[in-house]
Amino acid sequence: MNAASPSRRLRLLTVLLLIPGLAGCFADSGSGDGASGSGGSRLRVALAFPPAENLSPYGADATLLSRLGVTEGLTALDANGAAAPALASSWQRESDRTWRFTLREATFQDGTPLTPAAVVNALTRAGKAQPAPAALSGVSLAVRARGADAVEVSTRAPDPILPLRLSSPSLAVFSPKAYDRQGRVDPAGTATGPFVLTKVTGATAATLHRHDDYWGGRAQAAGIDARFVADGTARANALRTGDVDIAEAVPVSQAAALPKGTLRETATTRTTSLLLNSEAGPFRDAGLRAAARAAVDTDALARGVYEGHADPGSGIYGPAVTWAAGKRTPPVGRARAARPDGVSVSLATYDNRPELPEAAQVLKQQLEKAGFGVRLVVREYSRLESDALAGKFDAFVLARNSLVDTGDPVAVLASDHTCHGGYNIAQVCDPGIDRAVARAEATADTGKRQEAALAAEAAILGTDTVVPLVHQRVLTGVATGVRGVLLDPYERTLIDTGTRR
DSSP calls for 258-316: SPTT-EEEEEEEEEEEEEE-SSSSGGGSHHHHHHHHHH--HHHIIIIISTTSEEE--SS
- Among candidates 269, 275, 268, 267, which has minimal Cα distance to 416? 275
Phi-psi region at 491: left, alpha or beta (left = phi > 0; alpha = psi -120 to 50): left
Residue 496 within any structural domain of the chain: no
Verify that 375 and 258 share a domain, yes or no: no
Verify that 358 and 435 share a domain, yes or no: yes
Verify that 285 and 358 share a domain, yes or no: yes
Q: Is the pLDDT of residue 302 over 60?
A: yes
Gap between the Cα atoms of 492 and 64, Å rounded:
8
Q: For residues 321 and 37, which has the higher predicted lDDT (pLDDT)? A: 321
Q: Which of 204, 232, 262 is the last residue of a domain?
A: 262
Task: Give 210's DSSP letter.
Answer: E
| Under 8 Å between Cβ of 91 and 105 | no
Backbone angles phi, psi at 284, to 5 degrees: -65, -25
Q: Is the pLDDT of residue 326 over 90?
A: no
Verify that 245 and 280 share a domain, yes or no: no
Task: Grade residue 35 by pLDDT with cuts at 50, 70 and 90.
Answer: very low
Label the pairing between strands 42-47 and 223-228. Answer: parallel
| Under 8 Å between Cβ of 422 and 299 | no
Residue 460 within any structural domain of the chain: yes
| Under 8 Å between Cβ of 430 and 463 | yes
* Half-sphere exposure of residue 130: CA atoms within 13 angstroms, side-chain side: 2
Domain count, the chain: 3
Verify that 61 and 80 share a domain, yes or no: no
DSSP calls for 118-159: HHHHHHHHHHH-SSPPGGGTT--EEEEE-TTSEEEEEESS--
Q: Is the pLDDT of residue 22 over 60?
A: no
Task: Grade residue 122 by pLDDT with cuts at 50, 70 and 90.
Answer: very high
Verify that 155 and 284 share a domain, yes or no: no
pLDDT tens-digit series, residues 124-135:
999 999 888 888
pLDDT tens-digit series, residues 67-120:
999 999 999 998 778 899 999 999 999 999 999 999 999 999 999 999 999 999
User: Please, which residues have CB within 8 angstroms of residue 29's CB and are 6 or more apart in sequence?
Assistant: 42, 44, 207, 225
Q: Which of 262, 287, 317 is the last residue of a domain?
A: 262
User: Please, which residues have CB within 8 angstroms of residue 467's CB and are 6 or more apart in sequence?
Assistant: 273, 274, 275, 276, 292, 293, 296, 313
Taking residues 215-223, what's their average pLDDT?
A: 98
Gap between the Cα atoms of 115 and 74, Å rounded:
12
Residue 501 within any structural domain of the chain: no
Rounded alpha-carbon distances, angstroms, from residue 426 to 160, 273, 393, 409: 28, 11, 9, 19
The pLDDT, as a whole number, for residue 481 is 94
Taking residues 157-164, what's their average pLDDT?
A: 90
pLDDT tens-digit series, residues 383-406:
999 999 999 999 999 999 888 778
pLDDT tens-digit series, residues 442-500:
888 888 999 999 999 999 999 999 999 999 888 999 999 999 999 988 889 999 999 99
Gap between the Cα atoms of 165 and 442, Å rounded:
14
Indicate the pTM of the whole model.
Answer: 0.76
Quick one: 172 exposed, middle or buried, by C-beta within 10 A (0-12, 13-18, 19+)? buried
Label the pairing between strands 263-276 and 395-401. Answer: antiparallel
Gap between the Cα atoms of 184 and 234, Å rounded:
33
Least-confidence region, from 17-26, 248-257, 399-408: 17-26
Verify that 303 and 251 share a domain, yes or no: no
Q: Is the pLDDT of residue 314 over 70?
A: yes
The pLDDT, as a whole number, for residue 38 is 53
Residue 258 within any structural domain of the chain: yes
Verify that 301 and 442 share a domain, yes or no: yes
Verify that 218 and 145 share a domain, yes or no: no
When the pLDDT of each residue in the chain is averaged and rounded to a whole number, the result is 90
pLDDT tens-digit series, residues 411-423:
899 999 999 998 9
Can you give the CATH number for the domain in which 405 is found? 3.10.105.10
Can you give the CATH number for the domain in which 137 is found? 3.90.76.10
Verify that 59 and 167 share a domain, yes or no: no
Can you give the CATH number for the domain in which 242 is found? 3.40.190.10
Q: Which of 176, 206, 226 is the last residue of a domain?
A: 176
Quick one: 268 exposed, middle or buried, by C-beta within 10 A (0-12, 13-18, 19+)? buried
At 103 the three-state DSSP class reads strand
Domain span including residue 165: 75-176
Task: Grade residue 59 by pLDDT with cuts at 50, 70 and 90.
Answer: confident
Residue 172 within any structural domain of the chain: yes
Residue 487 within any structural domain of the chain: no
Residue 136 within any structural domain of the chain: yes
> Does a cis peptide bond (omega within 30 degrees of 0) precede residue 131?
yes
pLDDT tens-digit series, residues 183-213:
899 999 999 999 999 999 989 999 999 999 9
pLDDT tens-digit series, residues 338-368:
999 999 999 999 998 889 999 999 999 999 9
The pLDDT, as a whole number, for residue 71 is 98
Residue 488 within any structural domain of the chain: no
Verify that 415 and 281 share a domain, yes or no: yes
Verify that 16 and 32 share a domain, yes or no: yes
Rounded alpha-carbon distances, angstroms, from residue 111 to 177, 416, 417: 11, 38, 41
Q: Is the pLDDT of residue 64 over 70?
A: yes
Gap between the Cα atoms of 394 and 372, Å rounded:
12
Rounded alpha-carbon distances, angstroms, from residue 17 to 10, 12, 13, 20: 11, 9, 6, 6
